Structure 1
């Protein structure tokens, strides 16, 4: 199965590198500067589960259809990414997006047609160091995907068989959109609060009203998810509540870490989209509103569009 991976950063590089080293037919669609690094050094992963150093095949432009496209870009690059992969989308190509949130499904459906677009998510902690090496920060390496309609079932099974040799934790989900909404609900709360408070979970819990405010933010996201038809299941609800209120936790969302290094963030795709859905459903969301304004002010200052 011919698989094109857009991006060789943390997520695309980690999963794609594992697949390439297993002998899968993988090509990375990357910018010329990244292609130069990969041609010179190969793809390097530093992981507590075992390091990886493998040569990979790269493209700087897609030219022909493939069987599957794995999108591993940041949400703010999605419009550009869709144009980049368009030549690779044939009549039977499936697209597996591994982005945060759920807005990407609507965007990809509108661009390529719903029949091409699967649901997917991953749980992994990765970053890229200045040398271009991928650093795996923990032992999580889970990739979950599934069909969004019955006519995708055969393609999903073929893709599962093709990427199973990668050696990471792989699962097919019969309810992938529900899974994505549960992660979205957690992440909007997690990112919203850690960026708003400029602090990890444990520090927020140490504040007098920290837990109460965290739970209020979660309630806004839960009400929005429920209004959209995706209330979290009991196990997911218990897990996200435990993580968001863990005393002493050093946990921060990747959005907070992007913010700490003065980088671009996915705030519009995560916090902004959750707020937009809350407003459409008539759900009061004062903390989401405050959190989004905080991130928009940060972006204005970071990008130089605000005085000072």
Structure 2
């Protein structure tokens, strides 16, 4: 299959490299500056398994490439609006589109634009972009895909993504899995952004009851939306966010602390809007949003 990876950041660069190393036909849709860097230097990927640089194929907009068989949307929510309108130039009637972002608004928007062609995608990887170098901190590399609205995952898509270096799986309840991850990421964002500290320091300051309240709030929204968090998912959230001495911080908090564009509205703002529609009280979520929105933005 011809695979288009939208974005060559931490997630796109990591998964794109692993797919390319497995012999898949991968092209990146990037901005002109990024194309210049990649054309000159290649894409460098540093992971626990090695440090390598590959020559890659790139495009910056509609050209003679035609439709791709599979499109992986790997940009952050802050860049999603800028690329969603460009995807159509590369999507034919048989193209499958898998967005790999946090939250749900992007899935619904793509499904509206490309009904029946969008699949749910859930990635687990710890990677960052260091300049133009993609660095993966741990060996965790998984990708879970599932159909939406009863549509199956095409066999050729599953075959293309099932490579030895990625723990790949197809599930039926992908929407529930996406909501479960969203509930955790939102709870972590509330905890770190509201108290402006890593988990261990918040616990030392007596914050455990508030951490548990944040988890309860986000999981209550998920449950009211018809996607209750599993017992295992709840236990994992509590374990990660109440571990004594933990240096854990959410990516949302790290972006805000660094003065970078953040996914606050996509992760927290959208969840708060849904909570209001569902009549679910979320006082800690609301306070966190006020603090973020009142702070100077990049």
**Given that residues 19 and 166 in structure 1 are in contact (C-alpha distance below 8 angstroms), is that contact kept between their aligned partners in structure 2?**
no
**Given that residues 29 and 62 in structure 1 are in contact (C-alpha distance below 8 angstroms), is that contact kept between their aligned partners in structure 2?**
no
1-side partners of 2:262 and 2:151: how far apart? 35
Residue in structure 2 matched with residue 250 of structure 1 by the alignment: 247
- Structure 1 residue 231 corresponds to structure 2 residue 228: yes
Residue in structure 2 matched with residue 60 of structure 1 by the alignment: 60
1-side partners of 2:4 and 2:284: how far apart? 39
Residue number among 185, 188, 208 corresponding to 1:187 in the alignment? 185
Residue in structure 2 matched with residue 73 of structure 1 by the alignment: 75
User: How do residues 24-173 of structure 1 correspond to structure 2 at under 5 angstroms?
Assistant: 24-63=24-63, 64-113=66-115, 115-130=116-131, 132-153=132-153, 155=154, 157-165=155-163, 167-173=165-171
Residue number among 285, 288, 305 corresponding to 2:285 in the alignment? 288
1-side partners of 2:9 and 2:164: how far apart? 17
Larger relative helix fraction: 1
Q: Secondary structure at the match of 1:116?
A: coil
Deviations 1:74-99 (A, max 9, x none): 11221221112111111111110000
Residue in structure 2 matched with residue 306 of structure 1 by the alignment: none
**Given that residues 224 and 283 in structure 1 are in contact (C-alpha distance below 8 angstroms), is that contact kept between their aligned partners in structure 2?**
yes
Residue in structure 1 matched with residue 173 of structure 2 by the alignment: 175
2-side partners of 1:150 and 1:190: how far apart? 31
**Given that residues 141 and 165 in structure 2 are in contact (C-alpha distance below 8 angstroms), is that contact kept between their aligned partners in structure 1?**
no
1:122–1:56 CA distance, 2 compared to 1 (3 A): same
1-side partners of 2:228 and 2:122: how far apart? 18
Q: Secondary structure at the match of 1:165?
A: coil
- 1:243, distance to aligned residue in structure 2 (A): 0.9
- 1:192, distance to aligned residue in structure 2 (A): 1.6
Residue in structure 1 matched with residue 272 of structure 2 by the alignment: 275
- 1:149, distance to aligned residue in structure 2 (A): 3.5
2-side partners of 1:216 and 1:167: how far apart? 38
Q: TM-score, normalised by structure 1?
A: 0.93
Q: Root-mean-square deviation (CA), in Å? A: 1.2
Q: Which runs of 4+ in 1 moved over 6 A?
A: none
**Given that residues 15 and 166 in structure 1 are in contact (C-alpha distance below 8 angstroms), is that contact kept between their aligned partners in structure 2?**
no
Residue in structure 1 matched with residue 263 of structure 2 by the alignment: 266
Q: Secondary structure at the match of 1:282?
A: coil
Deviations 1:213-271 (A, max 9, x none): 01111111111111000001111111111111111111111111111211000000001
- Which consecutive residues of structure 1, in runs of 5 or more, have no partner in the other structure? 304-308
In the alignment of these two chains, the number of paired residues is: 296
